[in-house]
Structure 1
């Protein structure tokens, strides 16, 4: 079981800038919990995501001593990837590839064909740099733009990624539109069809629908889940203002019910949870 904590996704849409020192203190607290991966920041245009304009400074302040957690940074283009791979502390680069042509243009100002070409180049760059590219298939469970969507389209995208040698694909519920009826068939079909790929679930949800989504993915064989403490963040285009990231505490509760041992330091988790509810997010 791999749990990926995503403070980057929680922070990026907040209008008030979180001080760099506060980010560093929070991320250092998260590094003590024992998550597999920490999605800590992004190397994108500061005009696009002003909240994360200090990612390089934050990275310089992180204490990785004794932490088993690996770092992941999101990039939106080749320039960002070239910057990210220069940092030896980073293990993973994440790139949002959308099955929706409209959303790809809005998110990275590219066509999906251009984005796929960039994925191939980024993968080669990561391979040369000793890093791994994580490809997020955004709008993986549907989209609001009227673009064609079907499980077959998602499978076709995955086939193209597999042909490139991509090893981690996270199906992403960008707007919280997924249901158990869409989640379960996709994971059930893709996981056995592409055994060389590690599939993850990046789910957005409302407070009342999280359990059915987690259960559908888990029962279909998914063993990699993204979450954010408090369920903070999510896509601003979601129609429901209650839609946010999958709350990590809910993930942990579900896994505990299934008897899954996460090997997390729960005392450290509670300290980080307290920080999230206090100085990190409460005043923003």
Structure 2
């Protein structure tokens, strides 16, 4: 199976930015069920764009995320699509990981690990101690089946619940996960609590503390605040971003309708301004943008 690729340096010394497109995040909070065929048609268009990864679905309880109850069926409709884009599925427990690795086209298995005890309970119905053990088991399942485990450091920039938080806290949990063999991470701003200053300090702090990991950013934001966060992240050295077309998305467990994923369009505009390479097919991207009106 494909493994997560490392950003490479261009001739001018600028690293290529790798993008994970997140239609799963964009769809999961929509109450109207999106037909399976429509989901698959949208994913096919996104696979043509050339993103590094496509966060396409999740193997979780349909009671928790009813919109994604057809993830396996969607995946079956994508089997014939030739694409170098790696497919990423989200799981909440070992049962989900076992189901994910049964599908040969799933390359990466993602698990949202919250550094907030309250949100870990809300999001996965388990505490942090249990979540650490779950990550260990998911890692074992992935490595035994040639897949890449990816851990989201959820609530990485603080939380609204009053749970203890500090950069050292995030680093401490990251260290525990690294000791389990996890090497792929996304520092996640689950509720849009990050600021440019926080990104500028926390991202390099973690990257310097763990130079051998792959560290991306999964940023949520209220409308209008995303661009400055992206600027701070690029200036801090981040070369891997999770975004969603038209800025849809967000976590249904966070209950803030204004806090969606940062729009892929915003990131691409900024990268174009800076002359940073993405390798994306912009015609295919335009086709996906057009079709997104059928989905949303």
TM interval, shorter chain, is over 0.9
Shift of the alpha carbon at 1:154? Answer: 0.4
Query: For 2:151 and 2:145, how far apart are their aligned partners in 1?
Result: 17
Structure 1 segments of 4+ aligned residues over 6 angstroms from their partners: none
Aligned pair partner of 2:288 in 272, 275, 282: 272
**How much has 1:64 moved relative to structure 2?**
5.1
Trace 1:86-97 onto structure 2 (pairs within 5 A): 86-97=102-113
Q: Does 1:48 align with 2:48?
A: no
- The 3 A distance-change label for structure 1 pair 49 and 238 is closer
C-alpha distance in structure 2 between counterparts of 1:118 and 1:236, whole Å: 22
Query: Tell me, what secondary structure is at the counterpart of 2:64?
Result: coil
Give runs of aligned pairs for residues 103-252 of structure 1, distance below 5 A. Answer: 103-236=119-252, 241-252=257-268
Query: TM-score by structure 1 length?
Result: 0.96
Q: C-alpha distance in 1, partners of 2:295/2:252?
A: 20
Structure 1: tracts of 5 or more residues without a match: none
Number of residue pairs matched? Answer: 280
Deviations 1:134-193 (A, max 9, x none): 100110001011100111100101111111111111011100110011111111111122
More moved, 61-70 vs 80-89: 61-70
Q: Distance in 2 between matches of 1:128 and 1:237?
A: 31
Unaligned runs of 5+ in 2: 1-16
Single out whichever of 143-152 and 228-237 deviates more from structure 2: 228-237
User: Do the aligned residues in 2 keep the contact of 1:18 with 1:280 (CA within 8 Å)?
Assistant: yes
The residue that corresponds to 1:74 in the other structure is 90
1-structure distance, mates of 2:79, 2:272: 29
- SS of 1:28's equivalent in the other structure is helix
Please say if 1:253 is aligned against 2:269: yes
Q: Secondary structure at the match of 2:175?
A: helix
Q: Which residue of 2 aligns with 1:100?
A: 116
Shift of 1:10: 0.3
With the length of structure 2 as denominator, give the TM-score of the two structures: 0.92
Question: Structure 1 CA distance, aligned partners of 2:137 and 2:197?
Answer: 35
Cα root mean square deviation, aligned:
1.2
Contact 1:175 1:237 in 2 (8 A): no
What is the deviation of 1:238? 5.2
Q: Write the distance in 2 (CA, Å) between the matches of 1:96 and 1:239.
A: 17
SS at 2:78 equivalent: coil
> Is the aligned partner of 1:18 residue 2:31?
no
